[in-house]
Amino acid sequence: MRELAAERGVALPEDVRFHPGIGLTGALSRFALTLAVLQELDAIRRVADEICQDAAADGVTTLEIRFAPQLHGHPIPAVIDAALEGAGGRAGLILCALYGDPPGLVEQLVAAAAARPGVVGIDVAGGPSPAHAWDLASYAPAFRRAADHGLGRTVHAGEGRPAGEIAAAVELALAQRIGHGTTLLDDPAVLDLVLERGVTIEACPTSNLHTGAIARAADHPLPRWLALGVRACVCTDNTLFSDVTASQELARARALPGMSAAMVDAAIANGHAARFARR
């Protein structure tokens, strides 16, 4: 990142990492830094390649890279193709719409994904705001088309927000996976829905602590989810800003109160089983 910034005259702070208490809004604002150095196709290729190299060195065998191609300064298809070239078949790509994006943009992402076998899924990332003109219901037609094309569907939902958001993601966007989902246990009906549909929860303990979705590391609900039969896995959310690798995140999950070795094994197996693969 610093090499790319120096080449492009982008000033970076001394420390770009998240920290406990940064909050979701503060965390999301940090992505302006990475976007500033990823406005050229060669940089996108390089970073996609290096993500795959780093993951392999850490022992990761199933890798998905998610990003929002509409934010990278070039036509969406060109940005996706650059990322695919950099990944070189070592990772599937997940294209992120952002809460508040117009439905037409989400349709563009689905169409671009459907035309490229290396793209395996669609996501809604960021966080909703009352000021947004569009919500998950607005994206439901695009996500139904994604399902028709055999694309995976995941949604950032319940990240410290009401559990009903998780239900909306499952029922409206046909989400097979939920990012974060920290409030899942707040509503028994939502828990029942997740169990009934076999939805996988992408647990992100380090990021959840940084954004305030959980108050303390020991409060993360991952062990309770697994004990109740929820198909939960462990996700770094992002390795750069959260300053965590997959192996470190698994180690932190292993240290949670109530977590057993069998639960950790189950979380790893759940992650592999929930990978998005085009049919």
C-alpha distances (whole Å) from 97 to each of 66, 93, 101, 203 are: 10, 13, 7, 20
User: Quick one: which H or E segment has residue 44?
Assistant: helix 41-57
Distance CA 188, CA 192 (A): 6
234 in Cβ contact with 268 (< 8 Å): yes
Residue 169 burial by CB count (10 A; 0-12/13-18/19+): exposed, middle or buried?
buried
Out of 40, 85, 107, 159, the active site residue is 159
Q: How many residues are recorded in the chain?
A: 279
Q: Is 165 a catalytic residue?
A: no
Taking residue 269's Cβ as centre, other Cβ atoms within 10 Å add up to 12
Instruction: Give the max Cα distance, the chain.
Output: 52
Torsion angle of C-alpha atoms 76, 81, 82, 86, degrees rounded to 10: 140
Residues catalogued as catalytic: 159
